[in-house]
C-alpha cells in the first residue's frame, strides 16, 4: 500500500484533533469555513509552538506529501512550515523565509532555497514534497504543480535511519522543536501522504481534493443497536460532524454484528480517485479486548478491513482502500456512488 494518510479536516472538531493526530501542540484548531472549497481547514495560529505530528505506522524510505496552504498575511520572521520525522527526531524540513521563498533543510541545516515565493494575499496554493532518504538521497518540491527545487545525490537524513515515519505541520522559528510563530496564521487543507512502495500512489498525486462524506441512508446491514434502543435508521445516529460521541451512537457486543450505510453521490466528476479513507470514531465501554473493523459493500459483497483495537476513550480508527474490492482496480465515481461503508465487531 502506498497511500498512508488523508485529511480533509471536515469530520472532527478542535477538541478531537488528538483522535486522529499523534501529537497536538499549542492552539491548533479546526476552522470550519476556511478550507479550499469553503470546508474545514487546520488553522495553525500565530503564537508560540503550534504544531501537529502524525505517526504513519511505517518506516518510509521514500515519502510524498501534498497539502493546500494559505498564509493569511505578511511574514515577520522566517519559520518552519512542514517536516518529516523519525520517531520524534527531525529529518528533512520545509522552511519559509522572511521574503516568502521556501528552503529545503536537513533538520535546521539549509540545503537549498527557491526563487519562487509563496503568495501572501490569503489564497490557497498547493505544496508537494518528495524525499528519498539516504546519504545520497534526493528531494523535489513543487508549488502549484511546478518543480521549484530538486536535487539528487544529496544527504537527506538527519538521524541514523534512512527513512521517515512521521509528518509535522508547524508554524515556528528557531529549531523545529521550539520557537515562535512566523507572524501570520497558516491554514492547511486537502492533505495526502504516500510512500514509494506498490504499483500506484507511489509518486506525486498532483493538486488533489480530499472530500468528506457522511452517512445519508440505511445500508444492507443494520445489526447494531442505537442509543434509541432499536436498529431502525441507524445512519441518523452516525451522520454528525463533528461526532457527538455519547449523544448519538450505535453499539454492539456481538462479534460479527455489522452496520453498513449509504453515502451521498459525489457532487463533482473526479479525473481519478486515488483512494478512500474510512474514519470510524469509536470507543469501548468495558474492560477487555475489543476490536472493530471497517466494511465495504461493493456490488453486493461485503469486504472487511483490518481489525483495530478500541480504547476506553473515543479514537479515530482509519482504514485506507486504494481499490474497489469488487473490481480490484482503482475506485470509479460510479463504484463509489453505489457502494456502502460501515463497521463490524471483529472480536
Q: Which letter does DSSP use for residue 285 in this model?
A: S
- CA atoms of 192 and 6, how far apart (whole Å): 5
Regions of the chain where pLDDT drops below 70: 1, 47-48, 173-181
Query: What SS3 class is residue 156?
Result: coil
Task: Count the Cβ atoms, other than its own, within 10 Å of residue 285.
Answer: 10
Q: Which tens digits make up the pLDDT trace of 36-56?
A: 999 999 999 876 678 899 999
Contact 21, 72 (CB under 8 A): no
Residue 166 pairs with which residues in a beta bridge? 55, 85
- CA atoms of 343 and 38, how far apart (whole Å): 29
The reported pLDDT for the residue numbered 179 is 52
**Hunting for cell 527531525 — which residue is that?**
90
Question: Is the pTM of the predicted complex or chain greater than 0.75?
Answer: yes
Q: Which letter does DSSP use for residue 118 in this model?
A: -
Contact 244, 227 (CB under 8 A): no
The reported pLDDT for the residue numbered 152 is 98
Contacts of 50 (CB under 8 A, 6+ apart): 25, 26, 27, 28, 44, 170, 171, 172, 181
The reported pLDDT for the residue numbered 102 is 97
Distance from CA of residue 9 to its chain's centroid?
A: 8
- CA atoms of 246 and 282, how far apart (whole Å): 10
**Hunting for cell 511546478 — which residue is that?**
146
Amino acid at each position: 500500500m502506498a497511500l498512508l494518510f488523508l485529511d480533509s479536516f471536515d469530520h472532527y472538531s478542535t477538541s478531537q484533533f488528538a483522535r486522529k493526530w499523534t501529537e497536538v501542540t499549542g492552539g491548533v484548531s479546526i476552522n470550519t469555513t476556511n478550507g479550499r472549497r469553503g470546508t474545514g481547514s487546520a488553522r495553525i495560529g500565530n503564537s508560540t509552538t503550534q504544531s501537529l505530528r502524525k505517526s504513519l505506522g511505517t518506516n518510509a524510505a521514500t515519502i510524498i506529501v501534498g497539502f493546500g496552504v494559505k498564509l493569511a498575511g505578511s511574514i515577520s520572521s522566517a519559520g518552519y512550515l512542514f517536516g518529516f520525522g523519525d520517531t520524534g527526531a527531525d529529518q528533512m524540513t520545509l522552511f519559509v523565509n522572511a521574503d516568502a521563498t521556501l528552503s529545503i533543510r536537513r533538520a535546521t541545516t539549509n540545503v537549498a532555497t527557491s526563487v519562487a515565493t509563496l503568495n501572501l494575499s490569503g489564497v490557497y496554493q498547493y505544496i508537494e514534497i518528495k524525499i528519498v532518504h539516504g546519504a545520497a538521497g534526493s528531494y523535489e518540491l513543487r508549488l502549484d504543480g511546478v518543480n521549484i527545487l530538486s536535487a539528487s545525490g544529496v544527504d537527506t537524513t538527519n538521524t541514523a535511519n534512512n527513512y521517515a515515519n512521521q509528518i509535522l505541520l508547524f508554524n515556528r522559528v528557531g529549531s523545529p522543536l521550539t520557537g515562535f510563530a512566523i507572524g501570520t496564521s497558516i491554514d492547511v487543507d486537502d492533505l495526502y501522504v504516500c510512500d514509494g512502495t506498490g504499483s500506484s500512489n507511489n509518486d506525486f498525486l498532483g493538486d488533489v481534493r480530499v472530500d468528506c462524506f457522511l452517512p445519508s441512508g440505511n445500508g444492507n446491514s443494520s445489526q447494531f443497536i442505537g442509543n434509541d434502543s432499536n436498529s431502525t435508521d441507524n445512519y441518523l445516529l452516525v451522520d454528525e460532524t463533528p461526532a457527538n460521541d455519547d449523544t448519538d451512537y450505535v453499539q454492539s457486543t456481538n462479534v460479527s454484528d455489522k452496520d453498513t450505510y449509504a453515502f451521498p453521490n459525489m457532487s463533482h466528476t473526479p479525473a481519478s480517485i486515488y483512494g478512500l479513507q474510512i474514519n470510524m470514531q469509536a470507543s469501548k465501554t468495558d474492560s477487555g479486548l475489543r476490536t472493530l473493523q471497517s466494511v465495504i459493500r461493493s456490488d453486493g459483497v461485503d469486504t472487511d478491513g483490518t481489525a483495530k483495537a478500541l480504547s476506553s476513550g473515543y479514537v479515530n480508527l482509519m482504514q485506507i482502500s486504494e481499490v474497489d474490492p469488487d473490481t480490484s482496480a482503482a475506485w470509479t465515481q460510479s463504484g463509489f456512488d453505489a457502494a456502502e461503508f460501515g463497521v463490524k465487531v471483529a472480536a
